[in-house]
Amino acid sequence: MRERILMNIRLLEGKSLHEIGDEFRCVPSKVHYWKERFKQDGHVEGLRDRPRSGRPSLLSKRKEEMIQRIIERPRITREGISSWSTTHVRELIRTKAGVTYTTRHVIRLMHRWGFEKIKPRPEHCRAASKRVRRRFFKK
């Protein structure tokens, strides 16, 4: 934002688009763009970044909320209760919503939903029942 304001100040001082572009190490068309944005809005707030729409989500809000509710509950397996791994959430999204995401994007989604990535630690193992732990350590 500071750079955009300074570009407009230099224009008011009478410098050319090329001179300002050289000073700020950018193309003159960028200077012209910010000059027009300032003129169009008529104030400094016009130089702020505007929200971008981005690519629309493949998941509907309803299905996204449904998946969030499912993964908020513990995942029950034959071995006992465990947390949701990214792979399991990816498969859940594929089966429930018919959308296939990359593992990296599932991590982004889970982060946006407020979930944290955990690494298995001894305290996570102790969360399992004694029977499950005994069976695990016997193998």
pLDDT at 126: 60
pLDDT of residue 98: 94
User: What's residue 117's pLDDT?
Assistant: 75
- Report residue 10 as tokens: 């230099």
Q: What is the pLDDT of residue 57?
A: 87
**In whole angstroms, how far apart are CA 31 and each of 6, 7, 15, 16, 39?**
10, 7, 11, 10, 12
| pLDDT value at residue 90 | 94
pLDDT in tens, the chain (139 residues): 899 999 999 999 999 999 999 999 999 999 999 999 988 888 888 888 888 888 888 999 999 999 999 988 877 766 666 678 889 899 999 999 999 999 999 999 999 888 887 766 666 556 667 777 677 666 5
d(CA 132, CA 15): 75
Closest CA to 115 of 75, 45, 68, 78: 68
Residue 40, pLDDT score: 86
> What pLDDT score does 33 carry?
92
What string of DSSP letters covers 1-58? -HHHHHHHHHHHTT--HHHHHHHTTS-HHHHHHHHHHHHHH-SGGGGSPPP---SPPS
Q: State which amino acid sits at residue 3.
A: E
